[in-house]
Amino acid sequence: MPILMGLHILVALACAVHVIRTQRQMYWIMILFIFPALGSLVYVLAEVLPSLAGSPSARKAGSVASKALDPGREARDALVQVEISRTPGNMRRAADALLASNRPADALVMAREAATGAFAEDGAMMFTLARTLYETGEFGEALDQLEAMQAAHPDIRHPEAHLLYARTLEALGRLDEAAATYASVSDYFPGPEARARWAMLLEASGDQDNARARWNEILAAARHAPKFVKRTHRRWLDMARARA
């Protein structure tokens, strides 16, 4: 065991040298020596492999590892970019990152500023603003934003916005409209989330038979799905198995 620990420390030291030589973020050094084995592994995945390979899969692996160990990094990096250049694109990316970090109030500030002027009717800006309004409990304004997005882009096919519209109607207590919207978006939404939320609304409304039918539809669709799809949607599939 002492030999193994010594090896872990040597690897951490090598990674620390790489941090300094390549001018990486200095918080990596703290991570490397607090978690000498795990920290080194994550550092290699997040910083070393992507720079060596440059492949999309390597970058994705590094991104996942980095988020697991430092979930606030993406938001910090995005805010730095806003300080460097306060463009609508940078502010939208910061808003999305802040939402992912559970900072909806801060995200709303960025999203409001991004969706102004020439970008007031940009579809991506409008959707980010609608998401932040929903997450901050501004359901009426979120609905207005989603309806304005639909009016500005009548031919757009945006399943995430369609699902958010259903959720916003539900939050506002417009349950019949919400159920109809869930039914519509469930036909083409990628994955079971829309149908699961529809089933939960049906349950809350007392329609247990129709809710159970929706849960069974989720399970039937997933029966022959690849394993990675099942892993991605595990939350909804577990819920369906428990309630069908």
Indicate if 168 and 86 belong to the same structural domain.
Answer: no
Q: Please report whether residue 116 resides in a domain.
A: yes
Same domain for 119 and 194? Answer: no
- If you average pLDDT over residues 177-191, what whole number do you get? 96
Same domain, 129 and 184: no
pLDDT at residue 153 above 60? yes
> Would residue 146 count as lying in a domain?
no
Average pLDDT over residues 177-189: 96
Output the pLDDT for position 50: 60
In terms of domains, do 213 and 185 share one?
A: yes
Domain containing 33 equals: 2-69
pLDDT at 203: 97
Q: Are residues 13 and 79 in the same domain?
A: no
Q: Does residue 25 surpass a pLDDT of 90? A: no
Mean pLDDT of 164-184: 98
Are residues 94 and 39 both part of a single domain? no
Q: What is the pLDDT of residue 55?
A: 45
Residues 205 and 163 in one domain: yes
Tally of domains within the chain: 3
Q: What pLDDT score does 57 carry?
A: 43
Tell whether 6 is covered by a domain.
yes
Residue 143 falls inside a structural domain: no
Give residue 19's pLDDT band: very low, low, confident or very high (50, 70, 90).
Answer: confident
- CATH at residue 208: 1.25.40.10
Contacts of residues 36-43 at CB distance under 8 Å and 24 or more positions apart, as own/partner, are 36/5, 36/8, 36/9, 36/11, 36/12, 37/8, 37/11, 38/69, 39/12, 39/15, 39/69, 40/8, 40/11, 40/12, 40/15, 41/65, 42/66, 42/68, 42/69, 43/15, 43/18, 43/19
What integer pLDDT is reported at residue 54 of this predicted model? 46
pLDDT digits (tens, 9 = 90+) for 37-85: 777 777 777 777 665 544 444 444 445 545 554 556 888 888 888 888 8
* Same domain? 48 vs 80: no
Q: What is the pLDDT of residue 163?
A: 97
